[in-house]
């Protein structure tokens, strides 16, 4: 009888120790996963910021070359048109990278905040749980606002690119000073649209840098 009780006691202690080890390992795993997700989000955000900067720089080059096309005469017209075509292709590539970055940053953020929530649920201290929950809510709000702004800008890039492609096709079909003159209104509109787009992106770039600064505090 005594022996059976000792065996049961030993089994219960073993089970309890095993459960404690499992819970500890689970909490450590959740914390490690959250830390990993945090690093991934920062990496994606930094990449997004750099690629948007690159897009803006390429946009400047494209618009400068387009402006020179409208002022070209004779042999210079072909040379400037070729430069414009080249810059448009590069701008399109930069646009693809920027819009892809925005989508990846949004997805990575969702994974990070889900992991953070799981980590909070495993905390035993009410004070730490509350502090972490409040911090998570603040960072998630800022991230959601940032991705919404970037997504809005991303949606405007393709229509703008379509206008540039139209100009490229129009000029390419009849590369003559007369045709270039006919495109002057569209060229001016493109430049005005580019300026408005850059101003909007500038605000998003400031928000991006602020979010990066916030997540390292």
Counting residues of the chain whose pLDDT is more than 90, the rounded percentage is: 50
Average pLDDT over residues 92-121: 93
Write down the mean pLDDT value for the chain.
84
- pLDDT score for 56: 94
- Structure confidence by residue, pLDDT tens digits, 182-211: 888 988 999 899 999 999 899 888 888 888
Q: To the nearest whole percent, how much of the chain has pLDDT over 70?
A: 84
150: nearest Cα among 161, 162, 138, 142:
142
Closest CA to 147 of 190, 211, 90, 81: 211
Instruction: State yes or no: pLDDT of 8 exceeds 70.
Output: no
Residue 85 has pLDDT above 50, yes or no: yes
HSE-CB at 68 with a 13 A cutoff on CA atoms is: 18
Long-range contact set of residues 97-102: C-beta below 8 Å, sequence gap at least 24? 97/51, 97/54, 97/55, 98/48, 98/51, 98/52, 98/54, 98/55, 98/154, 98/157, 99/154, 99/157, 101/44, 101/47, 101/48, 101/51, 101/52, 102/48, 102/147, 102/150, 102/151, 102/154
Average pLDDT for residues 12-16, to the nearest whole number?
Answer: 48
The pLDDT of residue 162? 94
Ramachandran sector of residue 130 (left: φ over 0; alpha: ψ -120 to 50; beta: rest) = alpha
- Residue 216's pLDDT is what? 63
pLDDT (0 to 100) of residue 16: 46
Domain boundaries, the chain: 34-214
Confidence of residue 26 (pLDDT cuts 50, 70, 90): very low
- pLDDT value for 22: 43
Say yes or no to pLDDT of 4 above 80: no
Tell me, what's the pLDDT at 130? Answer: 94
Measured CA to CA in angstroms, residue 105 lies from 36, 73, 124, 148 at distances of 14, 46, 31, 11
Tell me what pLDDT residue 24 has: 47
Burial category of 208 from C-beta neighbours within 10 Å (exposed 0-12, middle 13-18, buried 19 and up): buried
| CA dist., res. 173 & res. 58, Å (int) | 25
Q: What does the pLDDT look like over 60-79, one tens digit per residue?
A: 999 999 888 877 777 789 99
For residue 214, is pLDDT > 50? yes
Q: Give the pLDDT mean for 88-112.
A: 93
């Amino acid at each position: 009888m005594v022996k059976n009780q000792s065996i049961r006691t030993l089994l219960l202690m073993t089970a309890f120790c095993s459960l404690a080890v499992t819970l500890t390992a689970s909490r450590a795993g959740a914390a490690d996963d959250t830390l990993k997700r945090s690093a991934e989000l920062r990496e994606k955000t930094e990449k997004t910021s750099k690629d948007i900067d690159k897009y803006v720089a390429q946009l400047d080059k494209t618009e400068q070359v387009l402006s020179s096309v409208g002022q070209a005469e004779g042999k210079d017209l072909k040379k400037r048109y070729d430069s414009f075509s080249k810059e448009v292709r590069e701008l399109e590539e930069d646009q693809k990278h920027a819009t892809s970055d925005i989508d990846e940053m949004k997805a990575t953020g969702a994974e990070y905040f889900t992991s953070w929530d799981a980590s909070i649920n495993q905390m035993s201290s009410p004070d730490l749980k509350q502090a972490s929950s409040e911090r998570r809510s603040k960072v998630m709000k800022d991230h959601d606002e940032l991705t919404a702004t970037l997504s809005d800008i991303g949606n405007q890039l393709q229509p703008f690119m379509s206008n540039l492609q139209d100009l490229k096709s129009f000029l390419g079909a009849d590369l003559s000073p007369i045709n270039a003159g006919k495109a002057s209104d569209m060229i001016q509109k493109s430049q005005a649209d580019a300026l408005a787009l850059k101003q909007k992106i500038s605000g998003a770039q400031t928000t991006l840098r602020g979010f990066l600064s916030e997540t390292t505090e």
